[in-house]
Amino acid sequence: MMTEGLIAELAQEAATTRRVLERVPEDRLSWAPHPKSLTLGQLALHVAGIPGALGDMLSEPVRDISGIPRPEAASRAELLAALDASVDQATQTLSGWTTDDLLADWTMKVGGNPVLTVPRIDMVRSVMFNHVYHHRGQLTVYLRLLDIPVPSVYGDSADEKPIGMG
């Protein structure tokens, strides 16, 4: 079934996301690198919650995404608990979908106006997964700017060399 590979990827990437979130300094959660940027606590909580939130959002054939809140985490424990709950929710959602469910059209609305209709699998891939990877990458830049050692993600970082290259 299509969902087995998605669930395996979700689990593998969740472990990497956990390593990044474990580095988030609790005393800097309100820090932002730029006035237009999310705070560290907002970005980290967003990264932690995306899989479950997207599983919920994609469970309906049509969803209006107006006014998505961006709360700020209060602690690292909150981030890790949010990640665990989010991955559990996404795993349950994915487990319940058939191939037909994944291939069914899904529509995004903003302010009641349709802006996108695509097969649900496209949103799982581009938003539930790739969106996490994008923001997790931003989070590693935040860590670097705060002089926090950056964990390896897809190989060595300047601070961790599990592969031993460099």
Domains and CATH numbers, the chain: 2-145 (1.20.120.450)
The mean pLDDT of 44-49, rounded to a whole number, is: 97
Q: What is the pLDDT of residues 50-101, one digit of tens each?
A: 999 888 888 889 999 887 789 999 999 999 999 999 999 999 999 999 999 9
E strand or H helix at 109, and its extent? strand 105-110
Exposure on the CB side of residue 1, measured as CA atoms within 13 A:
13
Q: In the β-sheet with 113-119, what is the strand arrangement from edge to edge?
A: 62-64, 105-110, 113-119
